[in-house]
């Protein structure tokens, strides 16, 4: 029987420890994100729902930082949460009304059924696909993205789209006033 050298054996044990610590951290981040997402659903006040939504998105961004995807973390944290999320919080604070329950208890049935099937799929996947899936390290470099002309063109088109939308919104707003 093949026996591993002690050094390689201890390195394997250390890797297992690091992996479990990583998994625990990832599970904790994902769990907190889901708890805050539940807060959005269960909160009666839109203002608190918008705040919980921003925290959920910050935790989604943190999971990107966990995998060392810093450019996407910056985009989500500063553009998605920092601009879009805060505008939503401001809107919710402006139109603050008497809190009322918005979720019917009957919706719990389809949610429970869907959650059951998702959990079943996750649990059964290793049973029906016994061959191990190789783990892969994320190696994304922003410098590989920037020189590609097609992507620059895409960003240009998207900026034009947002400017066009902004102009049409302004036109509708002016038309409504007059």
Binders of another protein among residues 111 to 140 (CB under 8 A) are 111, 114-115, 118-119, 122, 125-126, 132-140
Determine, following the binding rule CB under 8 A, whether residue 16 of this chain makes contact with another protein.
no
Q: What is the dihedral of CA 37, 41, 42, 45, to 10 degrees?
A: 110
Distance in Å, CB of 3 to another protein, minimum: 26
Residues 56, 76: Cα–Cα separation, whole Å: 11
Distance in Å, CB of 86 to another protein, minimum: 11
Determine, following the binding rule CB under 8 A, whether residue 104 of this chain makes contact with another protein.
yes
Determine, following the binding rule CB under 8 A, whether residue 66 of this chain makes contact with another protein.
yes
Determine, following the binding rule CB under 8 A, whether residue 77 of this chain makes contact with another protein.
no
Binding mask 141-160 for another protein (x = CB under 8 A): -x-xx--x--x--xx--xx-
CB-based contact 39:62 (threshold 8 Å): no
Question: Quick one: tokens of 89?
Answer: 């919080």
Distance in Å, CB of 107 to another protein, minimum: 6
Determine, following the binding rule CB under 8 A, whether residue 65 of this chain makes contact with another protein.
no
Residues 16, 115: Cα–Cα separation, whole Å: 30
Beta-carbon count within 10 A of 54 CB: 19
CB-based contact 59:33 (threshold 8 Å): yes
């Amino acid at each position: 029987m093949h026996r591993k050298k002690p050094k390689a054996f201890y390195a394997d044990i250390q890797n297992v420890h690091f992996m479990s610590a990583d998994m625990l951290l990832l599970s904790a981040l994902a769990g907190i994100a889901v708890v805050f997402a539940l807060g959005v659903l269960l909160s009666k006040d839109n203002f608190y729902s918008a705040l919980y939504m921003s925290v959920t998105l910050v935790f989604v961004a943190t999971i990107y930082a966990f995998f060392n995807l810093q450019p996407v973390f910056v985009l989500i944290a500063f553009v998605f949460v920092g601009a879009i999320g805060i505008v939503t919080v401001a809107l919710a604070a402006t139109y603050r009304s008497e809190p009322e329950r918005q979720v019917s208890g009957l919706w719990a049935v389809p949610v429970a059924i869907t959650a059951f099937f998702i959990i079943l799929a996750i649990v059964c996947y290793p049973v029906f696909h016994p061959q191990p899936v190789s783990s892969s390290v994320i190696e994304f470099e922003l410098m590989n993205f920037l020189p590609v002309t097609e992507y620059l063109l895409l960003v240009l088109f998207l900026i034009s789209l947002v400017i066009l939308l902004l102009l049409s919104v302004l036109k509708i707003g002016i038309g409504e006033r007059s």
